[in-house]
């Protein structure tokens, strides 16, 4: 993770977190009053998205730190909550929705951690069971080199029994998580894909074998783990390629230590297509058999999705018959055709995942 420029909002110039980060970043910094000058600078770039990955903006989050996952109607959401620690990512995946979600995208890290932990403490002490993660608007572990936030979060979650923290990543930046008193209330999770997809669509990410080795290491430290096959990309030979990744996954980690495995095929807002075409001219990811879904996203034709899900779910069940496997944003028809039930038959998807977290992480629900 390397930044070529650092900007600091004037309101947080004296923040201890800012000083800690600056001690680790060997580039000049500028103090600014807002984002407009950065937006103007990015607008002049040939590739503002790539340039945004090279700029670090240290500021405060003036809104809520804990947010509901932005699910959509007509598709089943898992009820996940986002801990909003920052935005964007230094890795560069062709399919990443963040390229079109932020305008323009910019690596921001929120440094008002006293406010974060105050809100988190209130949430953990007054709410019911929560599954909370930091990997929605950024990668959970790309900030490890510069801050102790994850270590503080792991310890904080380890002191309670009603919620879990999920740290989701495509990196192997786990060294600083060794030796923490996590009490199995932090799940380390990895996005997985085939080597072909990693090579062609996931610039700057860790190789699949390296990710799985990191998962194995975290397992040895007592952490529960999880995996997300999302986005699943359909191409010639993909079935056998994903089967090999599933086999490799179970070679590195114990089925009994996997809290859940999610499956989600590639889907995208229409405005992402020209961005992919311009920034990844050799990518073919946006040229599949897509239709517009109920959420206005382009999705693979449903029979193709169902066939792929059936294949992958069968492979996973062969290794781990009792594994909690779920779909990210699919409808009841897909659930019934692949799993043989719909989430509402078992109390809803949030309840299914809460129960799995209770079994693997010792939550009290």
For 42-51, write each residue's pLDDT tens digit.
Answer: 888 999 999 9
Residue 237 counted as domain residue: yes
Mean pLDDT computed over every residue of the chain: 95
Residues 6 or more apart whose CB falls under 8 angstroms from that of 90 comprise: 1, 2, 3, 53, 54, 107, 142, 204
Provide DSSP, 193-262.
--HHHHHHHEETPPPHHHHHHHHHHHHHTT--EEEEEEEE---TTHHHHHHHHHHHHHHHS-GGGEEEEE
- pLDDT per residue as tens digits for the range 242-281: 999 999 999 999 999 999 999 999 999 999 999 999 999 9
Contact 246, 239 (CB under 8 A): no
**Omega of the bond prior to 231 within 30 degrees of 0, cis?**
yes
Please list the residues that pair with 290 across neighbouring strands.
300
What percent of the chain stands above pLDDT 90?
A: 89
CATH number of the domain where residue 258 is located: 3.80.30.30
Identify the pLDDT of residue 99: 92
Sign of the dihedral defined by the CA atoms of residues 242, 323, 313, 292, in that order: negative
Residue 17 counted as domain residue: no
User: How far is 156 from 161, CA to CA, in rounded Å?
Assistant: 11
Res. 213: pLDDT tops 70: yes
Please count the other Cβ atoms lying within 10 Å of the Cβ belonging to residue 182. Answer: 23
Identify the pLDDT of residue 71: 76
The backbone torsions φ and ψ at residue 235, rounded to the nearest 5 degrees and listed phi first, read -155, 170
Segments forming the whole domain that contains residue 312: 66-103+113-361
Residue 42 counted as domain residue: no
Residue 293 counted as domain residue: yes
Residues 6 or more apart whose CB falls under 8 angstroms from that of 25 comprise: 3, 6, 56, 146
Provide the total of helices (H) and of strands (E) in the chain, helices listed first: 13, 18
Residue 185 counted as domain residue: yes
Residue 225 counted as domain residue: yes
The backbone torsions φ and ψ at residue 25, rounded to the nearest 5 degrees and listed phi first, read -110, 115
CA proximity to 31, closest of 46, 51, 12:
12
Q: Is 275 helix (H, G, I), strand (E, B) or coil?
A: helix
Q: For residue 191, how many C-alpha atoms fall within 13 Å in the half-sphere facing its CB?
A: 24
Q: Which of 74-83, 97-106, 348-357 has the highest mean pLDDT?
A: 348-357
State CA 275 to chain mean position distance. 21
Is pTM beyond 0.85 here?
yes
Residue 121 counted as domain residue: yes
Q: For residue 262, how many C-alpha atoms fall within 13 Å in the half-sphere facing its CB?
A: 23
- pLDDT per residue as tens digits for the range 326-359: 999 999 999 999 999 999 999 999 999 999 999 9
State CA 45 to chain mean position distance. 28
- pLDDT per residue as tens digits for the range 287-311: 999 999 989 999 999 999 999 999 9
Residue 208 counted as domain residue: yes
- Total structural domains in the chain? 1
């Amino acid at each position: 993770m390397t930044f070529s420029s650092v900007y600091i909002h004037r309101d947080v110039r004296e923040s201890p977190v800012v000083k800690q980060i600056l001690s680790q970043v060997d580039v000049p910094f500028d103090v600014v009053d807002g984002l407009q000058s950065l937006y103007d600078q990015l607008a002049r770039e040939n590739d503002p998205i790539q340039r945004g990955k090279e700029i670090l903006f240290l500021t405060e989050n003036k809104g809520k730190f804990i947010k509901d996952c932005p699910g959509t109607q007509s598709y089943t959401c898992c009820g996940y909550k986002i801990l909003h620690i920052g935005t964007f990512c230094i890795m560069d995946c062709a399919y990443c929705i963040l390229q079109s979600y932020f305008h323009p995208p910019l690596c921001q890290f929120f440094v008002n951690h006293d406010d974060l932990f105050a809100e988190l403490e209130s949430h953990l002490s007054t709410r019911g069971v929560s599954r909370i993660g930091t990997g929605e608007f950024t990668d959970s572990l790309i900030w490890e080199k510069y801050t102790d936030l994850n270590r503080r979060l792991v310890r904080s979650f380890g002191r309670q029994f009603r919620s879990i923290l999920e740290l989701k990543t495509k990196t192997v930046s786990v060294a600083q998580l060794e030796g923490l008193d996590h009490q199995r209330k932090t799940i380390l999770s990895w996005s997985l894909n085939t080597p072909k997809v990693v090579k062609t669509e996931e610039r700057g990410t860790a190789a699949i074998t390296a990710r799985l080795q990191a998962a194995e290491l975290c397992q040895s430290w007592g952490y529960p783990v999880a995996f997300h096959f999302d986005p699943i990309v359909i191409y010639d030979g993909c079935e056998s390629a994903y089967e090999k990744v599933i086999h490799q996954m179970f070679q590195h980690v114990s089925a009994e230590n996997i809290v859940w495995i999610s499956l989600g095929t590639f889907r995208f807002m229409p405005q992402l297509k020209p961005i992919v075409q311009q920034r990844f001219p050799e990518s073919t990811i946006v040229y599949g058999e897509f239709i517009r879904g109920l959420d206005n996203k382009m999705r693979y034709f449903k029979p193709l999705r169902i066939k792929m899900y059936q294949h992958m779910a069968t492979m996973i069940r062969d290794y781990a018959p009792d594994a909690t496997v779920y779909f990210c944003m699919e409808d009841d028809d897909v659930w019934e055709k692949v799993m043989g039930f719909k989430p509402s038959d078992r109390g809803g998807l949030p309840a299914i995942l809460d129960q799995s977290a209770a079994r693997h992480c010792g939550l009290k629900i």
